[in-house]
Amino acid sequence: MHYRNGGTSMSSPVVAGVAALFLEQCPKADPSYFSDALINAAYTDSFTGAVPNNAFGYGKLDGFETLINGKELATFSGNSVICEGDSNQFSITSSNVSYLWESGDTTSFQYFSDSIETYFMVTNLTTGCISDTMSITTSVAEKPTLECLTNTYDFCENTSITITESGGFNSVLWNDGLTINPRVFTQDYDGYILGLDTNSCLSDTCFITVTEQPNPAQATITNNNTILSTSSGYESYQWYLDGSIIAGANDSVYTAMQNGNYQVEVFNSYGCSTFSSITTISTVDINEHTINGTIYPNPNNGNFTIETNQYNVTLNLYSSLGKLISTTPLSDSTVHEFRNLSAGSYFLVLSDDLQVICKKIVVLK
């Protein structure tokens, strides 16, 4: 309540009343602290004019705002979202104060690992001013998931491997600081990857080992009258003719059925492979009317005769895929009979010390 030119007899009781309330709130406050709060809370209007002046001093008294100015300010730091399985520290950042948590604890910080609603207050050590209660509400976020289906990867020498992780996450973090997914590896790696969500919560750790495996030694092809062979020390084989795969040609030995450029690809236990050099075959004769041998009947029902015009001929019978079925040397005869062959196409290779002849046989049933 203000009256123009009311004098100190009117203002003193009002100021004293505000001071009493202020000291109840801040029992250790000295006069200068109250004076600063009182002046800072004063307001001006059309009556006061510019302040300070001799009529209104620093302005009109605002008792409520004076009390507000005297309150200690409670502040804290801490993330209200807690990652599943983790805990967050909440620290009171107000200075020169004592602390009181809802639980009765008087430390400057607390750890929380669950969803809670709590509060704390602080009291200024110099003025005794008490803050309003400061509420803290936390929530727990489920951790992101990283499927981590495989922990060990192999790739072949002079190649690379791409690893893609999937699951419920927003981004990834590798132990070397990279954040890419998928990731291409060209050398050995032994580390881990984590999945992160938008709250920076971390998944369980997925350990990853990547190993560069050596390629097998290059194979050497040996040509013995169009019978091609290489070392048997490899895990598997694949033969090629003129750069194309020969279906079913997966042994260390292959009989060339036609002229062309042959290679063999050899594999080790890691699936790594190396190609041999090219071996060129130009001595295969697939002429059905060769003078070196006559097959009759052809086609047939599985029983046929081969008649040659010379001794010391070796007969090698192969399936259409190049698999050796039988070997028959003709040392004292020029005639041989085959019986009970299954339906299909066959190759009969006649050879002596100087020549190799290949003849096609068709069995119909």
pLDDT tens, position by position, for the chain (365 residues)? 555 555 666 778 889 999 999 999 999 999 999 999 999 999 999 989 999 998 888 999 999 999 998 899 999 999 999 999 999 999 999 999 999 999 999 999 999 999 999 999 999 999 999 999 999 999 999 999 999 989 999 999 999 999 999 999 999 999 999 999 999 999 999 999 999 999 999 999 999 999 999 999 999 999 988 889 998 889 999 999 999 999 999 999 999 989 999 999 999 999 999 999 999 998 886 544 344 678 889 898 888 888 887 777 888 898 887 889 999 888 777 788 888 889 998 888 888 777 777 888 899 97
94 lies in some domain: yes
Alpha-carbon gap, residue 111 to 206, rounded angstroms: 28
**Is 124 in contact with 145 (CB distance < 8 Å)?**
no
Alpha-carbon gap, residue 6 to 13, rounded angstroms: 12
Q: How far is CA 307 from the centre of its chain?
A: 67
Q: Are residues 323 and 357 in the same domain?
A: yes
Alpha-carbon gap, residue 227 to 39, rounded angstroms: 110
Q: Are residues 81 and 56 in the same domain?
A: no
Q: Are residues 232 and 272 in the same domain?
A: yes
Task: Name the H helices within the chain.
Answer: 8-25, 31-41, 63-70
Alpha-carbon gap, residue 133 to 118, rounded angstroms: 10
Q: Are residues 61 and 80 in the same domain?
A: no
CATH number at residue 329: 2.60.40.10
Tell me what percent of the chain is helix, strand and coil, each rounded to the nearest 5: 10, 40, 50
Give residue 92's identity as a one-letter amino acid code. Answer: I
Hey, CA dihedral for 169, 174, 178, 184, is it positive or negative? Answer: negative
The first and second tokens of residue 147, run together, are 């499927």
Name the nearest CA neighbour of 150 among 109, 206, 190.
206
146 lies in some domain: no
N- to C-terminal Cα separation, the chain:
124
217 lies in some domain: no
Alpha-carbon gap, residue 65 to 53, rounded angstroms: 21
Give the strand pairing for 236-241 and 260-267.
antiparallel
Which of 141, 160, 183 is the endpoint of a domain? 141
| Three-state secondary structure call for residue 22 | helix
Q: Are residues 18 and 59 in the same domain?
A: yes
Q: Are residues 328 and 271 in the same domain?
A: no
Instruction: State residue 17 phi and psi, 5-degree precision.
Output: -65, -45
Question: What integer pLDDT is reported at residue 162 of this predicted model?
Answer: 97
For the chain, what's the residue count? 365
Q: Which domain does 125 fall in, by range? A: 76-141
Question: What integer pLDDT is reported at residue 7 of this predicted model?
Answer: 60
Q: What is the CA radius of gyration of the chain?
A: 48
Hey, CA dihedral for 180, 181, 186, 188, is it positive or negative? Answer: positive
Which of 26, 46, 70 is the endpoint of a domain? 70
Number of domains in the chain: 5
213 lies in some domain: no
Name the nearest CA neighbour of 251 among 343, 319, 314.
319
Which of 70, 89, 116 is the endpoint of a domain? 70
The first and second tokens of residue 351, run together, are 């050879």
147 lies in some domain: no
Is cis: bond before 182, omega within 30 of 0? Answer: yes
163 lies in some domain: yes
The DSSP letter of residue 57 is B
**Is 74 in contact with 121 (CB distance < 8 Å)?**
yes
215 lies in some domain: no
311 lies in some domain: yes
